[in-house]
Structure 1
Amino acid sequence: MPKTHLDRTGWVHDLNFRTNSVRQYLHTKIQAARSFIYQLGHAVAGARVDGLLKSTSSVPTLNSFCEQLGQLGKEFNVSQMMVVDLLHEFELGVWKALFIHLIRILHAASERPGILVDILNTRFRQVPTFGRFTIRRFHNNVSDMKKLAARDFEDILQCSIPIFEGLLPEPFNRMLLRLLYKAAEWHALAKLRMHTESTLDLLEAVTKDFGRLMRQFRDKTSETFETVELPRETGT
C-alpha cells in the first residue's frame, strides 16, 4: 500500500486493494537474496539484495513455518496467520499521530498562546481512575507526551471525548467529537479477542465511517487552522 493512498481508508477501492493485494511470503526472492549474500558475498544492504526485496520491505530471513512445511510451505501464505499489531499500528501509530495533530490544532486555535492546551492538561489531570489498571491517573501534562507507553495512549483515547469537548469552535467541535467516538469504537472492535460475522461487519462499517470522518476533519480544519510542528517535534 503506497503511503500516498493511506488516506483512502474505508473506500471500496481501498478495501478491494487490501483484499486482493495481501502480502505474500516471497520464498523465491528470499532464497535468491540469501544466495547473493552467503554465496556471492554481496552486502545485505547492497544493490543486488535491495533490488529483490526493497520494493516489498522484505528481509533475507527464512520463515520457519514455511521451511518446515517443505514444498507446501512455498505456497503457504504465512502472512494470513499473523494478527495485526494494534499496539504499534494504531495506539502508537494512527491514534498517536492524530493526537499530536490535535495538539497542533489547539495551539493554532488558541486566542492566547497555549491556553487551550493548558485546559486540556487540566482536564486530563481531573480524570479519576477507573478499575484497578483500566484508567490510571494522568499526573503529568498529557500534551507533552513524555514517558507514555502504549497503554497510556489507549487511556487517552478512552477519555478523550469529554476532554476535547468545547475546546474548538463549531462546527469543528462536533466534527472532532464524532471522530474521537469512531476512533474509540474502531479500537474497541479491533481489540476483541473473538469475532463473529456481525462484529466483523460492524468493524468494516466503522472503518468506512472512521476513514470518512478523518478525511472530512482533515479537509475542513486545514482550511481554517494553520498548524505547525510542536516544540517537541522540532527539538526546541
Structure 2
Amino acid sequence: MAFKIIVCAKQVPDTNEIRINPETGTLMRDGVPSILNHDDANALEEALKIKDKFDDVHITVVTMGPPQAQDLLIECLAMGADEGILISDRAVGGSDTWATSNAIAAAVKKIGDFDLIFAGRQAIDGDTAQVGPQLAEKLGLPQVTYVQKFEIADNKKDIRVERALEDGYEVIDIQTPCMLTAIKELNTPRYMYMKGIFDKEKEIKVWNAKDIEVDLTTVGLDASPTNVFRSFTPKPKGKGVIVEGDTEKDLAKNLLIGLKGKHVI
C-alpha cells in the first residue's frame, strides 16, 4: 500500500512586486506575478525527499484559488508530485484562514486515506500561520509547526522533527498520520524537471464546493470572521550615518562626539 502524502500549497502574489494603493490602503494586485508560496515549496520538497527515499510514495498537492492557480499545480507536478487538486468556486472566494481551513479539510476528507500532511508555516501574503494548525484541529490530527529538521524511520510510521523556537529548538517524536508545517530552514526546494514539465500522464482535478461537500455557511467571505482594517507600507527609516576614522580610537572618539552633538549622551 502506498504511503500517501498531502501537501497544502498556495499561489501568492510576488511580494517584491506588490504596491499599496495610497488612497484606499489596499493591495494593488494588477500586473503582479503569482508564485508558489515559499514555505509551501519547502513542504513539497520534504515530501519529495521522502519519495526519493521510498518507492511507494504518492504525493497529492491541494490548493484553493481561482482557475489560474492550476499553474501552481503544474509547477508542483513538474517538481515531482503525482497529483494536483484545485478547489475553485465562487462560494469559497474571500475566505479567511478559518473558512479556508474548512474548505481544505473537506477536500482532504474527500481524498480519503493519507499518512502525512505537509504545509508551509505561513503564506507571504497574509503571514498568519493559522491555516495549518486549524486544518489539523478540524481533522483531529497531532501536529508540529515550524519544522526545521525532519527524519522518518524505515517503517514510515515514526517521525522525529526539530521544531524551531525563538531561543532554540525542540526535538519531538510523532507518529503518522500527522500534520507538519515547514519553514525555510528545513531544506532547499528543487527546480522543476524538464521531463516533469512535459509529463501529460499526471492529473489535475478541479473540485467545486459541491464536490467537496462543504457546508456553504462555513466558507466564503460572509463566513469569515476576520476583517482587514488597513494595509500599508512602513515608512522608510532615516538615512544612516557612517562614522569615519583612521584607527579604532579615532572611530570611537568620532562616534562619541557625534552622539554628544545629538544629545544622545
Query: Which gives a bigger RCO, structure 1 or 2 (Cα 8 Å, sep 6+)?
Result: 2
**Which structure features the higher share of helix residues?**
1
TM-score, length-scaled by structure 1 = 0.26
TM-score, length-scaled by structure 2 = 0.24
